[in-house]
Structure 1
């Protein structure tokens, strides 16, 4: 039995690798790949995993970690900052959509419990797909992007009462009084759980994680995170509520601690696999027979989902005085069913609240809507331009006219792409030097605040030729990109180079991960935050300890001139992840002890030709003396310490060669 189970797991992973790879090649969301894997291996496919209890167990753990991950991303600060979109747009959209779907379900003859589940599930959109797609398209800070994020935040909030509601519906058994009593008890339990979890988070988790972090053990830290997540899930289950509610609340609690980013970093290696596992289990529930037998019904339901949700979203956005094009882009981005909807439906299957055939039809329609969603999000701008061409172009034309009219006599100015903290700091230096600039930013609130204060800041996408033309790029002296969104930066550089091949472009980036790509795209200078902060610290230190200012300036100039190459390699520590080092193309410094019968004993550096391995000889330490940049004619002796720098895999190959000659 165990052999068969192991074979099933290997087959599952093999098919997952192939399917998800194909999905990425075809630019399909990986979620769809996992769902297809579930369909293939499940009882309705080849039946490699055919035991219902196994499926339910996998689904429960998948859902627990899905909700934990979403809870970890949840931010009260973000919710408060976007309260108008969250509690305005979000509230009306969710309740209006759920109300319409409940009414239609009633007309279709669905029973009350099934109807409540479907109305709640279908009112929610896909946080994972929408946020990822909008981020990749650099639209997350646009008007429709911010509105979409606000609505998604409220939908995530609404998941809490819905997660409480499903076990309550299952316990009610039937009858209005029983349902009222069950809902009342569930509500009271829910309030108690939220209060208890909040108190635990505030008074227990912070000191616990402080103690765990002080032990400096990654295994202990990760183990503690998993214990908290699963412990919270077990607690809510014992209270007669959903396991997933506990996981979601655990994620929310941990998101408020100073260890949030460390937690995200630690769970990331297996988080995506666990989320993928949930979508595999969703695929296992879907029946190919049901899809074939009810194809037109499922297709009709999918179209109905888009029409109902899209119409509600469009009208609500218009109610909040959004322009026609922006409203349509919001509607197109959020008109699908999301992962929370799938969570609610799979839970409803577990609690026998969804009839098998009806539930399968509805679940398949929900999954189909998710599969279409990435394409609607991707082309939302083009569709909006086609349908709302007049208002869309009028709005953009108005923005472009404003920039042109305000700056018609400008020349030798700087175009500032991004007006966040870094952009604003740069603008103050320009102000003090009496240099003119035009700043472009996609955050409407920031633009409004800055313009109210008399700043030369405009709402506009710097990746669009018309906006750059309005900013008189042909007369500008230089362009600086001050934010760290790589995809957006590449788009802006490509557009600028198409319009003006010679204008200097200065780019800010977080680290050296994409320096070469940015330079190849057309950037003249790339400034990584990490290296610049290191240089500034070192410069201040050298001045404090009496180093001449001219010498410090010379050193910093040389480092910048060589594009930080002298800072590229580091001695790795226990906490460093070699995989991450490779991903950001950061090298390491490693010392090889020349000893025993090693091949390299008595050989010159010239004869060894270590440059073939893409490594550099930094120094040779002989006794207590360290010789920097040794001559090529230097012979290696026993007990020499050869200091090498380069990528870890290159150094490993070079070390093997030094030892064996192979």
Structure 2
């Protein structure tokens, strides 16, 4: 039987990471810097170069790389294949040019300071790649991923990730220096066939298998199973791509891209988000731990000169190239500062190059330290430039905002409707009559199918979860309509909306009068009891049928509405029954809104018994 000590042996490093994160990140956010810097600084402090609280940073790095994998999956979920195709000029044009020109310049600089030709080539390529995780995290913090400069930056990052595979294939050839033999060509053709087959398998399964798979699991109603299935899809695609020589991040991105049109997209995003955030923070801390302060002290002059040269040089090159591809100068500068760091793939390429004999160990360690330092200083530089640009807006920024708003209108809706039952369907009918297409959330598979006939944006998800609401666009919605049919669920959603989305108007379905009072106390903007308005219309029609003029009947119905609203707000302020409603089982007794003209009259013995009137 395992000892108690072995059971808790994993706790010290977990507590170390959690403690470092909860101290460093809030401090850096408090002084206006990115959370990424907090993670990097925390990694340096707990790493082997300072406190040495973590014994095996390499193991941590292996686990933390899953954060990048999950990040690429969520990015894939937010894209559509048609949108990705529309970015082909930026991906293969700007992305290729940036990588080629930057690698050439940085490789030339390495050659000038004494590196050999092969080592200079590896250095140029490694440092020319940018940090995908840092750039996307900062874009997310700024809410700028869908801006023009955010899209161009993402296009460059996507090409860089795609290029890692051929770069890794080139390095062994560069090390051999001779043409490959015939059997090696056959081996490589076979490997290429495996790669194509794996990609085809992911596409086919994603296109035809995942939606039915999630639909079956959704019927179980188990949130844990949906979370497990989401991780299964992401990590399965990542592992398959890794087995055929591609990067895990690209496999996850491909899986996310194939699920971008799925009805389960928002639920998947919400399930993955907590894991992504934790593991991505762990990845940034692992980068901080990789910085060898002893080597930095030994080579501080060279690193002090090289780090600013890399950051400023990459910024200048990306700014100029972005301008040549149609961006404004300010957009190009924002992209340049965002991508000025070296990337996480430098920590992959440099060990491969060292093991292949392309560069000596001391040079690889120096370039590794340089890459880590740029990842530490780059976000600071980017944040300072961003603040300077925001303090001096120009006319072009308004055009950027208009373009952003136009793009966002295609991806998010003005109205978010939670629940697509009988009530929610009628609400959407009214909205559609004025060409307002709402986004609908529902966790019932059959209702998701029903909504497809309406042409709505509808996604499987639990509307009581804050992460699902955010993923569905609640922060951008003008109005959120709660149309579910369970009073407790409605109250829970109303509280979440009131606390987290105050800018969105909340229109909420109420079950009865007590429920309506509770909703008003929560702070909803509008509530309607589910039978009240239909009963008003019913009564008005009855008056008209009895011979009352239509205008008089309408006036009577409106008078009842006004009196009811007045009493409802009075009950909200003083308590529905002066505090008696707090008693278990209590109910609000119906009271007439107009004084009755006579006393109630019982017409049967049973009725007289109920009313306590005694025998006539």
**Structures share a fold, TM > 0.5?**
yes
SS, match of residue 505 in structure 2 = strand
Shift of 1:63: 4.5
**Which residue of 215, 219, 222 corresponds with 2:224?**
219
Shift of 1:198: 0.9
C-alpha offsets along residues 468-500 of structure 1, whole Å, 9 cap, x if unaligned?
xxxxxxxxxxxxxxx986799xxxxxxxxxxxx
Match of 2:517 in 1: none
Pair 1:207 & 2:185 matched: no
Shift of 1:223: 0.9
Match of 2:179 in 1: 177
Q: Is the 8 A contact 1:34 1:283 kept in 2?
A: yes
- Give the 5 Å matches for 1:222-371: 222-337=227-342, 341-346=343-348, 348-349=350-351, 352=354, 356-371=361-376
Structure 1 residues 251 and 293: CA distance shift in structure 2, 3 A = farther
Structure 1 residues 25 and 158: CA distance shift in structure 2, 3 A = same
**Distance between the aligned counterparts of 2:528 and 2:242, measured in 1?**
53
**Which residue of 187, 191, 200 corresponds with 2:196?**
191
**Distance between the aligned counterparts of 1:243 and 1:315, measured in 2?**
32
Shift of 1:561: 11
**Distance between the aligned counterparts of 2:570 and 2:361, measured in 1?**
62
Shift of 1:287: 0.8
Q: Is the 8 A contact 1:125 1:152 kept in 2?
A: no
**Distance between the aligned counterparts of 1:41 and 1:118, measured in 2?**
28
SS, match of residue 255 in structure 1 = coil
Structure 1 residues 69 and 421: CA distance shift in structure 2, 3 A = closer
Match of 1:6 in 2: 11
Q: TM-score, normalised by structure 1?
A: 0.58
C-alpha offsets along residues 414-459 of structure 1, whole Å, 9 cap, x if unaligned?
xxx9677599999xxxxxxxxxxxxxxxxxxxxxxxxxxxxxxxxx
Shift of 1:267: 1.7
Match of 1:100 in 2: 105
Structure of higher RCO (CA pairs closer than 8 Å, 6+ residues apart): 2
Shift of 1:173: 6.0
Match of 1:19 in 2: 24
Shift of 1:43: 3.3
**Which residue of 498, 505, 520 corresponds with 1:527?**
505
Match of 1:158 in 2: 160
**Distance between the aligned counterparts of 2:52 and 2:157, measured in 1?**
35
Match of 1:122 in 2: 127
Match of 1:591 in 2: none
C-alpha offsets along residues 539-558 of structure 1, whole Å, 9 cap, x if unaligned?
99839974657799789999
Shift of 1:4: 4.3
Structure 1 residues 266 and 605: CA distance shift in structure 2, 3 A = same
Shift of 1:211: 1.3
- Give the 5 Å matches for 1:499-648: 511-513=497-499, 527-528=505-506, 542=534, 546=538, 548=540, 617=581, 621=585, 627=589
**Distance between the aligned counterparts of 2:534 and 2:289, measured in 1?**
63
**Distance between the aligned counterparts of 1:547 and 1:170, measured in 2?**
84
Deviates more, 1:269-278 or 1:32-41: 32-41
Shift of 1:219: 0.7
**5+ residue gaps in structure 2?**
416-472, 479-495, 510-523, 541-553, 592-616
Shift of 1:116: 5.4
SS, match of residue 177 in structure 1 = coil
Q: Is the 8 A contact 1:117 1:348 kept in 2?
A: yes
Q: Is the 8 A contact 2:127 2:346 kept in 1?
A: no
**Distance between the aligned counterparts of 2:568 and 2:272, measured in 1?**
34
Q: Is the 8 A contact 1:318 1:324 kept in 2?
A: yes
**Distance between the aligned counterparts of 1:162 and 1:620, measured in 2?**
65
CA-based RMSD of the aligned residues comes to: 5.0
**Distance between the aligned counterparts of 2:366 and 2:564, measured in 1?**
63
SS, match of residue 28 in structure 1 = coil
Q: Is the 8 A contact 2:198 2:241 kept in 1?
A: yes
Shift of 1:272: 0.7
Shift of 1:371: 3.5
**Distance between the aligned counterparts of 2:217 and 2:353, measured in 1?**
38
Q: Is the 8 A contact 1:147 1:330 kept in 2?
A: yes
C-alpha offsets along residues 154-209 of structure 1, whole Å, 9 cap, x if unaligned?
42243034146436746986334349958766655433322221112112222211
**Distance between the aligned counterparts of 2:128 and 2:74, measured in 1?**
21
**Distance between the aligned counterparts of 1:19 and 1:104, measured in 2?**
35
Shift of 1:276: 1.4
Shift of 1:229: 2.2
Structure 1 residues 167 and 51: CA distance shift in structure 2, 3 A = farther
Between structure 1 and structure 2, the one with the greater Rg is 2
**5+ residue gaps in structure 1?**
400-416, 427-482, 489-509, 519-525, 568-603, 609-616, 630-662
C-alpha offsets along residues 92-135 of structure 1, whole Å, 9 cap, x if unaligned?
32332233334434445556775555444433444555455556
**Distance between the aligned counterparts of 1:242 and 1:424, measured in 2?**
35
**Distance between the aligned counterparts of 1:552 and 1:107, measured in 2?**
88
